[in-house]
Chains A and B, each alone.
Chain A
Amino acid sequence: MRTEAGRYPGRRLAAILRRRPRLRLTLLLTAPLLWLTVLYLGSLTVLFVSAFWTTDSFTSQVVKVWSTDNFHALLTTPVHRQVVLRSVVVALAVTVLCAVLAFPVAFYTARVAPPRRRPLLVAAILTPLWASYLVKVYAWRLILSEGGLADWMLAPFGLRGPGYGLPATVLTLTYLWLPYMILPLHTALEQVPDGLLDASADLGARPGRTFRSVVLPLVLPSAAAGSVFTFSLSLGDYITVQIVGGKTQLIGNLVYSHIDLDLPMAAALGTVPVAVIVLYLLAIRRTGALDNL
């Protein structure tokens, strides 16, 4: 028989915790806080600090002498500015394309399709995420190759595929990150009350007006959340562009090319995407899109 005696230690612990809310809080938060500060913020700090070190040009050893040379080089070298700008444009293009493509898909899966089929459709949207990233990118390499699927499909219209390069990179990244935009939009659209749409129609609004004044404000926070995924994932990517980007280089490629010989310069370059993402989040916050998340 399990009576008071059997449960006693647990009870005593519960009693202690009940009496001491601070201890409760400490036990609850220590592990996640350690993870956040040591692993996450700690590594960001190391990244930032090492960006101020220098490298011995002969041995490639890191010399721990404080200097702002790397940031100076980062800001004054035309090629760095150009690559940073190119990376941001790619990330924005991917985000816009994802949003434009995701909305109709999400609208169909959330509101038009028969409710019984909706979970199946969502699962279908998620299936590409089950395949390896590299497999998908190499598949695009084949599709976009000379005389590949893209060329073959466009040939009847007298057109050619984009070949390898910047457009191919944007296209492939859009394909890769599309589910991350569809899912939040699907969830948001699913939660839009039918009554609001009916009311809008009853009051004489045409579909376009309903979309602009009712649906869009309601799903904008979710689109913003999705755009954080698509934007940051595109900004940090350097493998897709190596495979389908032709000779294009993005910010990640610059970091990669410096990592062996000039770690401090790689760190300085690595702070750029961090800064850009912070600015992006601030801009998104100003629109008020993050308030109801």
Chain B
Amino acid sequence: MRLIRTPRAAAFCAAALLLTTACGSSGSGGSSATGLHPPALKAPAELGRTEGRVNLIAWAGYVEDGSNDPGADWVSGFEKRTGCQVRSKVAASSDEMVKLMKTGAYDAVSASGDASLRLIASGDAAPVNTGLVPNYKDVFEGLKHGAWNSVDGRMYGIPHGRGANLLMYDTAKVTPAPTSWSAVFDDAARHKGHVTAYDSPIYIADAALYLKARRPELGIKNPYALDRKQFDAAVALLKRQNEYVGEYWSDYLKEVSAFKSGDSVVGTTWQVIANLAASEGAKVKALVPKEGSTGWSDTWMVSSKAKHPNCAYKWLDWIVSPKVNAQVAEYFGEAPANSRACAETTDKNFCAVYHAADEDYWQKIAFWNTPIEQCLDGRRDVTCVPYAEWVRAWTEIKG
């Protein structure tokens, strides 16, 4: 075993170990209290005067002031009510979010599971005093104290919303209706050239999730914790799949058009894409297959270097308030975090379609996480394949 000499390496290992403990317990039962702790940061005990400004990092569609779509505006109301002028920066990826948060120029961020833990470990995100966020009490219990947003029972953010990566198929061309991910893996040959998949290295986890059920001898417990053998099996599966793939999608409008024209007939999707495609006349259905599914869960986190913490807390409360949470969930196409948001949606069926309150449904979802060398499933006898290699492998899979 190599000796750790530099403080930098020590800090790295501490952070990595912390991640292990934080992610060790899957599901929503909270994290185990063993091992190391993130940098000792304090959440504010009470709020002071608002600073008149707040700087946010967000996914596209999360902070809308009506300039993109006149119908989508929940920033103006916030500014009027709190006097905090909002400046927001749209980030295109989790990695960009982490990079931006390190600059210290931002007060809050809407982090996905593959960014949030890195922010906690590096001390860029501070713990949140949920008592100062009145609307937090109405957040679904399944989203509180998740492995991706809390450490040792302390919340590091306010849940924003969640969604699953579904299997979508063309009901006319794919018969019988698929119930398993094998439709895009082992049985993909049936629709050669018309299979589609999400264009991101994190899609390797989808293959791992399928192998978890399909080949139990590999011993996959967590699709984000793959040792070399498991990883190679997933990559081999994806390379075979590549022969049958028509195109990979990352832009959701591209997938909608591919399903409408019939260029794609089966593949991964998001609920919002399935709805859009169906509303535009495509004969499609989307489901969570029997193996379960991957998904995302986003959390609003406050920077430890926030210059406008009071306005940031006001924003956290505002974005999960029932009406605004309903607006943003409908605009973006995901399940809202606030249980009372369901009464505020314009489409009264919205929460049922997105399974907002269906905890059994979310039990089947493996939320995005960052693969690191220390296996997230708690194994100590092997090292897992880190995300940087996932990226390289993804390039090779596409060829």
Write the residues of chain A forming the contact surface with B, with a CB cutoff of 8 angstroms.
Answer: 55-60, 77, 79, 82, 141-142, 145-148, 163-164, 242-243, 245-247, 249, 254, 257-258, 260-262
Of A56, A59, A79, A245, which is within 8 A of B396 by CB? Answer: A79
A selection of 20 A-B contacts at a CB cut-off of 8 Å is A55-B388, A57-B387, A58-B16, A58-B373, A60-B98, A60-B99, A77-B396, A142-B257, A146-B263, A147-B261, A147-B262, A164-B246, A164-B263, A245-B247, A246-B245, A249-B395, A257-B391, A257-B394, A260-B92, A261-B388
CB of A218 to closest CB in B, whole Å: 44
A100–B395 alpha-carbon span in the complex (Å): 34
Write the residues of chain B forming the contact surface with A, with a CB cutoff of 8 angstroms.
Answer: 12, 15-16, 92-93, 95-96, 98-99, 118, 122, 193, 242, 245-248, 250-251, 254, 257-258, 261-263, 372-373, 386-388, 391, 394-396, 398-399
Q: Are B261 and A145 in contact (CB under 8 A)?
A: yes
Of A56, A242, A254, A260, which is within 8 A of B395 by CB? Answer: A254
Q: Which residues of A contact B16 (CB under 8 A)?
A: 58
Q: Which 7 residue pairs spanning A and B have beta carbons closest together?
A: A145-B261, A260-B95, A146-B262, A57-B388, A246-B247, A79-B396, A146-B263
Q: Are A260 and B263 in contact (CB under 8 A)?
A: no
A163–B193 alpha-carbon span in the complex (Å): 9
Q: Are B247 and A260 in contact (CB under 8 A)?
A: no
A4–B378 alpha-carbon span in the complex (Å): 90
Task: Tell me whether A247 and B388 are in contact in the complex, defined as CB-CB below 8 angstroms, given that A58-B15, A261-B95 are known contacts.
Answer: no
Q: Which residues of B contact A257 (CB under 8 A)?
A: 391, 394-395
Q: Are A148 and B261 in contact (CB under 8 A)?
A: yes
* A interface SS class: loop
Q: Which residues of A contact B261 (CB under 8 A)?
A: 142, 145-148
CB of B241 to closest CB in A, whole Å: 10
Of A77, A141, A246, A261, which is within 8 A of B246 by CB? Answer: A246
Q: Are B263 and A163 in contact (CB under 8 A)?
A: yes
A257–B373 alpha-carbon span in the complex (Å): 21
The closest CB in chain A to the CB of B15 belongs to A58
Q: Which residues of A contact B98 (CB under 8 A)?
A: 59-60
CB of B151 to closest CB in A, whole Å: 17
Q: Which residues of B contact A77 (CB under 8 A)?
A: 396
CB of A277 to closest CB in B, whole Å: 23
- Max chain A Cβ within 10 angstroms of own Cβ: one of B16, B261, B262: B261
Q: Which residues of A contact B395 (CB under 8 A)?
A: 79, 249, 254, 257
Q: Which residues of A contact B118 (CB under 8 A)?
A: 58-59
CB of A248 to closest CB in B, whole Å: 8
Q: Which residues of B contact A145 (CB under 8 A)?
A: 257-258, 261-263
CB of B282 to closest CB in A, whole Å: 12
